């Protein structure tokens, strides 16, 4: 306990060696913590850095004091960082799946498929530009900024139902137009 108090005191007094000592003490342990829990990825250094950053911010904001033991506090932060990593990963997967379901294309990186996806992306952007301004705002807020329907409704001063219906109709217009254009190009 006393060693922890002295260490926190060194951090509070802006001792540059205190941060280096902390990193040396926990760096490899945190790296292993993430490596054992995330397979096939190589974001471990970023995650370890995020833990240290949160820890130092906690010390700066006086969230940790002399009575805390540093290791459980750091690994508590690591657990939260890991949870956020998986949550973000799941959200990205869901967004990709929604895009594939709505626009009926998948990400295949062969050259022909890449060119087709690029052309489809250009068509989608052109179609979005032809939509009424309110529909453009709704689609960009929902898909690009990942805002919720309720937040968009508050932003535009409309009801959730109105926003939801406008979004669905705009997507249907885009989907139908893509289908028409694909039939024109393949005929």
Residue 84 within a domain: yes
Cα–Cα distance measured from residue 51 to residue 70, given in angstroms and rounded to the nearest whole number: 12
Q: 2 versus 90: which is more confidently predicted?
A: 90
Claim to verify: residue 62 and residue 15 sit in the same structural domain: yes
Q: How many domains does the chain have?
A: 2
Which burial class, exposed, middle or buried, applies to 72 when counting CB atoms under 10 A from its CB (0-12, 13-18, 19+)? exposed
Mean of pLDDT values over 9-14: 79
Cα–Cα distance measured from residue 174 to residue 155, given in angstroms and rounded to the nearest whole number: 23
Claim to verify: residue 9 and residue 83 sit in the same structural domain: yes
Given a cut of 90, is residue 13 above it in pLDDT?
Answer: no
Tokens of 81: 């960082």
Mean of pLDDT values over 65-77: 76
Q: Are 131 and 116 in contact (CB under 8 A)?
A: no
Domain limits for position 112? 104-186
Cα–Cα distance measured from residue 136 to residue 158, given in angstroms and rounded to the nearest whole number: 15
Claim to verify: residue 13 and residue 47 sit in the same structural domain: yes
Residues in the chain: 187
pLDDT in tens, 121-153: 777 777 888 888 888 888 888 877 788 889 999
Residue 97 within a domain: no
pLDDT at residue 98, rounded to an integer: 65
Q: What is the DSSP string of 44-92?
A: HHHHHHHHHHHHHHHHHTT-S-TTS-HHHHHHHHHHHHHHHHHHHHHHH
- What is the residue whose two structure tokens read 């060696």? 17
Domain boundary among 33, 58, 91: 91
Q: Find, among 36, 133, 30, the residue nearest to 77 by Cα.
A: 30
Domain boundary among 43, 62, 91: 91
What is the pTM assigned to this prediction? 0.45
């Amino acid at each position: 306990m006393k060693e922890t108090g002295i260490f926190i005191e060194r951090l509070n007094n802006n001792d540059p060696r205190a941060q280096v000592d902390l990193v040396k003490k926990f760096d490899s342990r945190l790296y292993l913590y993430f490596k054992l829990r995330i397979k096939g990825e190589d974001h471990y250094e970023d995650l370890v850095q995020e833990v240290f950053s949160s820890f130092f911010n906690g010390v700066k904001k006086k969230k940790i004091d002399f009575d805390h033991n540093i290791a459980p506090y750091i690994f508590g932060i690591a657990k939260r960082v890991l949870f956020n990593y998986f949550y973000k990963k799941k959200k990205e997967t869901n967004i990709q799946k929604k895009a594939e379901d709505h626009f009926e294309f998948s990400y295949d990186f062969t050259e022909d498929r890449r060119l087709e996806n690029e052309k489809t992306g250009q068509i989608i952007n052109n179609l979005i530009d032809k939509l009424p301004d309110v529909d453009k705002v709704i689609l960009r807020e929902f898909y690009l900024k990942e805002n919720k329907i309720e937040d968009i409704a508050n932003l535009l001063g409309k009801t959730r139902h109105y926003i939801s219906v406008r979004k669905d109709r705009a997507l249907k217009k885009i989907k139908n137009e893509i289908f028409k254009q694909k039939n024109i190009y393949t005929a």
